[in-house]
Structures are given as structure tokens and as C-alpha cells.
A and B are shown apart, each in its own frame.
Chain A
Amino acid sequence: MAFTLYSLIQAAILCINAVAVLHEERFLSKIGWGVDQSVGGFGDEPGIKVQLMNLIRSVRTVMRVPLIGVNSVCIVLLLLFG
């Protein structure tokens, strides 16, 4: 109940890390969530599954590099201040 903004930031970092480690070939294609399986039909009905897959793919593409920096900072802070 006693949340602070810092715990929110930590939770966000953990969630984004979790999304970023999902491997494309080894895992997502195996369960049918790969990028090649997201080409739906035409029309304006993408559906929730396709939107989720697009979201995972874009998070992985965008956040891969900044996550390196953010994780390092977080590790250093945790080592120093507990």
C-alpha cells in the first residue's frame, strides 16, 4: 500500500525487461506469436492478438538499447543504496 514513485519505476523497468527478453525465433514463433504470423486480412479489424504482437515487437525494437543503460543505472543504484 505504501507505494512510492520509485517502486513504480522499478516495476516498469522489470516489466519492460520481461517483454524485451522474449526471443523471436526460439519462443514467439513456437507459440504462434511471431511477426510473420501477424499479417491479418485487410479491413479495420486487427484484433487483440495482432495488436499485442505488434506491441511486443515494437517494445523490443525500441527499448533494446536504452534498456542497457537503464538497467546498468538501476544495478549501480541498488548496489550502492540497497
Chain B
Amino acid sequence: MDYTAAQSGFRQRKLQHNMRLRNSSVDRPDGSQLFDDTSAAVPGPEGAYRNQQAGPQAAGLPGHSFLSDPMSNLAVAYGSSLASQGREMVDKNLDRFIPISKLKYYFAVDTVYVGKKLGILVFPYMHKNWEVNYQQDIPVAPRFDVNAPDLYIPTMGFITYILVAGLALGTQNRFSPELLGVQASSALVWLIMEVLAVLLSLYLVTVNTDLTTIDLLAFSGYKYVGMIVGIVAGLLFGRPAYYLSLLWCCAAIFVFMIRTLRLKLLSEAAAEGKLIRGTRNQLRMYLTMSIAAAQPIFMYWLTYHLIT
């Protein structure tokens, strides 16, 4: 709520606790309005109504001399209005550089989606329907379609990869805190270079596709799942387990990428499996194959130095 910014001290905490008990039946967004609760149906108007509701309630609570003092009341209201103005300004300017609204689409996931997607990443052979559902030209949010790309799994996978790399280095007594930063920036650099290379090759082959840069970032980030599985297997069971699990995950990512990219890059007929001659379709096929083949190479390159 807005009052949390201005409060400190025991009495205010007790006041907040009473308010929380009163409002416990209402579903509240946690923290500021920067993070909308996309799982609820309509969070916007309810949030505004709840803020107004909390105001009169707090002012009318008996026995707390803090908020019955009109000067402090005024100060709290002024401070909260300043804070919300500042937040609006930051939001407006930030939206110019980083398209936050577009990013929110990629993080609209839930547990079921993440579970299914992880399953497909490790075992894509049973999945039949790889098409992304559309809703009036806008791709459906990842929560409702398991084939839609998301950024949650790649981000979490990246962070987990760095942590697991630190763990692996620690078991070999090679760890120091700077190495975590080095690993992180190396992996990030390789990721950026891969996305730039894919963008360049998509431009050169003049593919008309609706793949955005963030989609490519998401697809390139899916390999971190396989890498983590490989490293963990190598840590638990030794080198042969590392090679075996890495081989399995490489094959899985290869099949996953080919099946996903086939629908996006190739023309309609070629995507259904008919062999269509012509340099353009051949080029596109080669492009798809090379993007998919680059994933296992990166997976091996980024993990082999972590396993003794």
C-alpha cells in the first residue's frame, strides 16, 4: 500500500498489521503497481479502489494518535503523492528505452506452463502440435499456449547456470567470487553474439518471419536448461554421466529447435514436410539446421571446463 513508504516505528507496524488483517479477505497486488498481477482478471480498477478504501479506514481507527494528528496525515498524503508522481515519470521514461509492456507478455507464465515447457525441452519427442495459437494477430500469452516462447525459463536458467557453475568450481577448489562474474559475463557475451549472428543471417536470407529479437533471445536461452542438467549430472555421478546427459540434452534441444523454427522460418508447404526445390527454401532449411546445430556446440563449449 502507499503508506508503507512513509512508515517506520513500532506503532505504525502495528497499524499496518491491523490494516492487513482487515484487508486479508481482499486479494491485493504485492508491492508497487509496477508489477501487475497478471493472473487475476482485472487488477487495475480494483487496486485504485482499494487504495481509497484504505485511506478512510486508517484515518478512522481509534486509539492510534499517529494518524489522528492532521499534520502527519497531510505529510503522509503529500509524501505518497510525490512518490507516485516520481514513479509515473520513471515509468514513462523507462518505457521509451525498454519496451516494458512487451516484456510483460513474455513473463506471463504459471507453474503448469513452466513444468510442461521444461518437459518438452528435455523430451520433445512426444509433443505433437508445435504451432503457436494466435488471438486476432496477437500471439496468445505463454500461460495459455505451451508453444509460445517466454523469457522466464531462459532468465532463471541463466542465473541457475551461473550458480551451478560456481558450485562446480567450488568442488574443484577453483572458486573465487570474481569467477562468478567472469562466468556470467562470458555466457552473456556468447548469448548476445549468438542472437546477433542469428539476426544477421535472418536479414541476409530475407526471411519474412514474425520472430522478434526477444523471441530469438528466448530460444537461445532455452539451452541453459540442458546445460544445467548436464553439469548437475556430472557433479553427482562423474564424467561419463556428464557426457551422457549432455548428449541427451543436445539431441533434445536440436529436435526442439528444428521443430519450433521450422514453422516460423520455412514457407507453409515446406514446413509440412514436402520437399520443395529452389534455392530459397534450401537456404532457409540450411539456416534452420545451422541455428539448431549451434545450440549443442554452445552447450558443450560453455560447460566442458566445469567438469574435471
Contact = CB atoms under 8 A, between A and B. Distances in A.
A48 B283 CA distance: 10
Interface string A27-50: 000000000000000001110100
A4 B203 contact: no
B206 A51 contact: yes
Interface residues of B, number: 15
Contacts of B182: 2, 4
A10 B67 CA distance: 57
Contacts of A8: 189, 192-193
Contacts of B192: 8
A51 B204 contact: yes
A48 B204 contact: yes
A49 B63 CA distance: 80
Contacts of B4: none
A60 B186 CA distance: 29
Nearest to B183: A2
B188 A52 contact: no
Nearest to A48: B204
B274 interface: no
A51 B193 CA distance: 20
A55 interface: yes
Contact of A3 (B190, B205, B206): B190
B189 A3 contact: yes
A1 B186 contact: yes
A3 B206 CA distance: 31
A4 B189 contact: yes
B87 interface: no
B177 to A, nearest CB: 15
A3 B182 CA distance: 7
A7 B204 contact: no
B13 interface: no
A48 B205 contact: yes
A7 B188 CA distance: 12
A7 B189 contact: yes
A44 B205 CA distance: 11
A11 B305 CA distance: 24
B185 A3 contact: yes
B204 A5 contact: no
Contacts of A46: 206
A3 B203 contact: no
A51 B280 CA distance: 14
A55 B203 contact: yes
Nearest to B305: A1
Interface string B64-105: 000000000000000000000000000000000000000000
Nearest to B181: A4
Interface of B: 182, 185-186, 188-190, 192-193, 203-206, 280, 283, 305
Q: Which 5 A-B pairs have the closest CB atoms?
A: A3-B189, A3-B186, A8-B189, A51-B204, A4-B185
Given A8-B189, A48-B283, 16 more contacts: A2-B182, A2-B186, A3-B185, A4-B182, A4-B185, A4-B186, A5-B185, A5-B189, A7-B189, A46-B206, A48-B204, A48-B205, A51-B205, A51-B206, A52-B204, A55-B204
